[in-house]
A and B are shown apart, each in its own frame.
Chain A
Amino acid sequence: MYYRYMIVAILLLLLGVLGIVLNRGHLIIMLMSIELILLAASFLFLINSMITDTLIEQVFTIMVLTVAAAESSIGLAIMVAYYRIKGTIAIKSLNWLRG
C-alpha cells in the first residue's frame, strides 16, 4: 500500500539525478537537483518509518534536512564566490581542470 509513495519518491530521486546529469545550464539548477535528491531520500526514510513502524528513520530525516541546509548554504556561498571571480555560473565554463 505504500508502493505508490515509494514510486513517487524514486521518481523524484531519478528526476534529481537526471537534473544533475543532463543540466548544461546554471549551477543553481544542479544545487536544486541535489536538494531534490536529498528530499527524495528523506521521503523514502519517512515511508520506511511508516512501513517498519520505527522512529529512527524520522530522526535520520531531521538530520538529513540539517545536512541539506548546511550543504545548500555552503554550495550557495561557493557559487557566490565563483560568480565574483568568473562573472558567470554556467557549468559549461567549469572545465578548466582536464585530465
Chain B
Amino acid sequence: MYILVLTVPLLGALVSGLFGRKIGEKGAGIFTSGCLIISLSWSLLIFYETTLNFSTTYIKLWRWLDSDLVTAYFGLQFDSLTAVMLIVVTSISTLVHIFSTAYMDGDPHVPRFMSYLSLFTFFMILLVTSDNYPQLFIGWEGVGLCSYLLINFWLTRIEANKAAIKAMLVNRVGDIGFVLAMLAIWDQFGCLDFASVFNIVALAPSDNTTLICLFLFIGAVGKSAQLGLHTWLPDAMEGPTPVSALIHAATMVTAGVFLLIRSSPLLEQAPMALMVVTIVGSLTAFMAATIGLVQNDLKKVIAYSTCSQLGYMVMACGLSQYSISLFHLMNHAFFKALLFLSAGSVIHALADEQDMRKMGGLIRSIPFTYTMIVIGSLSLMGFPYLTGFYSKDLILELAYDQYYLAFAHWLGVFSALLTAAYSLRLIYLTFISNTNAKKEVFSQAHEGSWNLTLPLILLALGSIFVGYLTKEIIWSFQITLSPIIPTSIKLMPVIFSLFGAGTAVVLYHYSSRIFNAPTSPVGLAGYTFLYSAWQFNYIINHFLVQNVWRLGHLITFRVLDKGVLELIGPKGISQFMIRLTQEISNLQSGLVYNYALMIL
C-alpha cells in the first residue's frame, strides 16, 4: 500500500486530464483533491511507520535498466528524509488543490489545471521516494516539465510563454550538471542506487568525489534557483498564484535542496565542495534579500524571499547540517505556501491586480487575509516561537560556529534583517498605507469562499506550530551537538529582524522621503541596480545568450548549412553531377558529320 501514495496523484492527473470534459470543472476539483487527501493520509502513515517507529521500508519494483555495465532497479525507498518530504509535498499540494478550486473558479480550463497540479505532485513524490539516481532524475525532469506546463497555463500570454521557456531552459543547464554527476558516479562506483553508492563512498574515498559533488551542486543550483541560475524563479510568477505556491514552497525548488540532503554521504567526503555550497548559498540569501527590498510586484517580493530562504537551506547543507536544512525546508514550505496563497487571496480580492503600488488600505476590507499574511511574514522573519524561528535562527547559530566561513554568518544575519524589512514593506504597502487602488476595485474587495480560506487557516496553524512540534523529531536525524555560542550572538538574528521590521515601518509610515530617494543620482543608481535584480538578466543576455545566438547563426547556419552542406556536401555534389551530365549530353549536337567524326 506504500505505492498508493505514488499512484493516487497520477490517477487523479490522468482522470482529470483525459476525462476532464466528462467529469466537469467541479468534478475535476473534487476528484483530484480527494486523491491528494488519500495520498496525504498515507504519507502521514508512512511518517508514523518510518520515522516514529524507525522502520525504513525499501520496495524493489522491477528491473529497469539492465545491461552488463549498469543495473538499475525501479525501486522505492521510504526513510525519514522521504517521509518528511512526503508530508511537506502532499500536505501543501492538497491545500493548493483545494485553494485552486476557488481561485481558478470560472477559468475555462480548470480540469487541465487540476491535472497538471496532480501530475506535478506525482513527479515530486516520485523524486523523493526513488532509491536511485536515474529514477530521481525522472522526477527531476518531470517537475521541470510540469513547471513549464503550469507557468504558461494561460498560454495566450506571450510573457507567460517566455517565462515558461526560460524556466525550462535555465533548469536544463542544471540538469546537465546532474546528468554529468550521474555519469561520474557510475564511472567511479559502477552503480547508481543510493544504498550502494553511499556505502562505497565511505569505504573508498576518491579524488573524484569533489567533482561529483560539484556536478550535483550545479543540478541543485538550477532547480533551487541559487546564484547564477536563479533568474527563472522571479519570471515564473507569470503562472497562476497556486502554481507559484506549489513551485516555490513545497515542490520544485525544494528538489535541489533535497538532492543535496540525499547526497549528504557524498558531500561529506568532499570538504572543498561543501565550501562552495556554503559560499553560493549565503551569497544567494543575501542577494535575493536585497532585491526583494525594492520589487513592486506582490508575488515577486515573495519569490525573491523564496530564493533567499533557499539560500539559507543550501548554506545549512554546506555546513554539513543536513537535518537542519531539511527542517528549514519543511517550515519554509508551510509559511511560504501561506504567504503565496494569501497573496493569491489579495490578488483575488483586487480583481487580479498584482502591483503593490496600486494596493493599500486592505486591512479594513480583507482583515482575514491580513491576519494570515502577518502570521506568514512573522514566521518568515523568525519571530520567536513561530515556525521560522526554530530553523532559521538555528542555521545562523550553526553558521557562527563555522568560524572558517564567518562571512556566511554575517551575510545570513544581514539577510534576516532585510527579510524582515521587505516583509513589513509588503504588509505596509498592501494593507496599512492609504489606498492607491481604483475605486470600483477597492469597494468590491472581499474575502473568498470557504475553499479559499480553509487552506489559509490550516497553513497558518502549520506556520505557527510545525516548527515547535517537529523540531525534536527532525533534529534527532543527525546527532549534532548544539554549538556553544555567546548569548548575544544567539539573540542577534531576532534583534536584527525586529530592527529591520521596525525600520521598514518607520520609513514607510513616518518618512515620505524614502519615496524621493530614487530620484537622487546615487539613489537612482542603487535603486536601478536592485530593481533589475543586480543586472543578472542583462549580463546573461548580453554576454551569454546573444553570443550563443550569434554563434548559432554564424556556425550552424552560415558555415554548416549554407556552407559545407551546400558547397561540398550532398547538395554541392549533386549540383556538380547535373552540370557535368548536361555538358556531356551537349556533345550530341544532332549533326550527322559530328557523329561520324566521333565514330571514327
Name the residue in A91, A92, A99 with the highest tally of chain B Cβ atoms < 10 Å from its Cβ: A99
Q: Complex Cα distance A91/B589, Å?
A: 13
Residue A1 CB within 8 A of the other chain: no
Q: Complex Cα distance A21/B596, Å?
A: 6
Assess the A94–B590 pair: CB atoms within 8 A: yes
What sequence of 0s and 1s flags, for each residue 577-600 of chain B, a beta carbon within 8 Å of any chain A beta carbon? Answer: 000000001111111110011001
Q: Which residues of A contact B600 (CB under 8 A)?
A: 17, 21
Q: Which residues of A contact B593 (CB under 8 A)?
A: 20-24, 30, 91
For window 21-51 of A, CB contacts with B under 8 Å fall at: 21-24, 30
Closest residue of chain B to A21 (Cβ to Cβ) is B597
**Shortest distance from the beta carbon of A25 to any chain B beta carbon, whole Å:** 10
Q: Complex Cα distance A52/B66, Å?
A: 89
Residue A98 CB within 8 A of the other chain: yes
Assess the A97–B597 pair: CB atoms within 8 A: no
For window 548-600 of B, CB contacts with A under 8 Å fall at: 585-593, 596-597, 600
Assess the B592–A98 pair: CB atoms within 8 A: no
Residue A3 CB within 8 A of the other chain: no
Q: Complex Cα distance A17/B599, Å?
A: 11
**Shortest distance from the beta carbon of A80 to any chain B beta carbon, whole Å:** 18
Q: Which residues of B contact A20 (CB under 8 A)?
A: 593, 596
Q: Which residues of A contact B586 (CB under 8 A)?
A: 99
Q: Which residues of B contact A30 (CB under 8 A)?
A: 592-593
Assess the A99–B585 pair: CB atoms within 8 A: yes
Q: Complex Cα distance A94/B595, Å?
A: 12
Residue A95 CB within 8 A of the other chain: yes
Assess the B588–A98 pair: CB atoms within 8 A: yes
Assess the A99–B588 pair: CB atoms within 8 A: yes
**Shortest distance from the beta carbon of B580 to any chain A beta carbon, whole Å:** 14
What sequence of 0s and 1s flags, for each residue 75-99 of chain A, a beta carbon within 8 Å of any chain B beta carbon? Answer: 0000000000000000110111111
Closest residue of chain B to A92 (Cβ to Cβ) is B591
Q: Which residues of B contact A21 (CB under 8 A)?
A: 593, 596-597, 600
Assess the A99–B591 pair: CB atoms within 8 A: no
Name the residue in B588, B589, B592 with the highest tally of chain A Cβ atoms < 10 Å from its Cβ: B592
Closest residue of chain A to B597 (Cβ to Cβ) is A21
Q: Complex Cα distance A81/B589, Å?
A: 23
Among candidates B585, B588, B591, B597, residue contacting A94 with C-beta atoms closer than 8 Å: B591
Closest residue of chain A to B590 (Cβ to Cβ) is A95
For window 138-187 of B, CB contacts with A under 8 Å fall at: none
Closest residue of chain B to A97 (Cβ to Cβ) is B590
Closest residue of chain B to A20 (Cβ to Cβ) is B596
Assess the A98–B590 pair: CB atoms within 8 A: yes
Closest residue of chain B to A95 (Cβ to Cβ) is B590
Q: Which residues of B contact A99 (CB under 8 A)?
A: 585-590
Assess the A94–B592 pair: CB atoms within 8 A: yes
**Shortest distance from the beta carbon of B591 to any chain A beta carbon, whole Å:** 5
Instruction: Give the A-binding residues of B (Cβ under 8 A).
Output: 585-593, 596-597, 600
Kindly list 15 other residue pairs between chains A and B, CB separation below 8 angstroms, not including A95-B591, A99-B589: A17-B600, A21-B596, A22-B593, A23-B593, A24-B593, A92-B591, A94-B591, A95-B589, A95-B590, A97-B590, A98-B589, A98-B590, A99-B586, A99-B587, A99-B590
Instruction: Give the B-binding residues of A (Cβ under 8 A).
Output: 17, 20-24, 30, 91-92, 94-99
Please list the 9 inter-chain residue pairs (A to B) with the smallest Cβ-Cβ separation, ordered nearest first: A99-B588, A95-B590, A99-B585, A98-B590, A95-B591, A20-B596, A21-B597, A97-B590, A21-B593
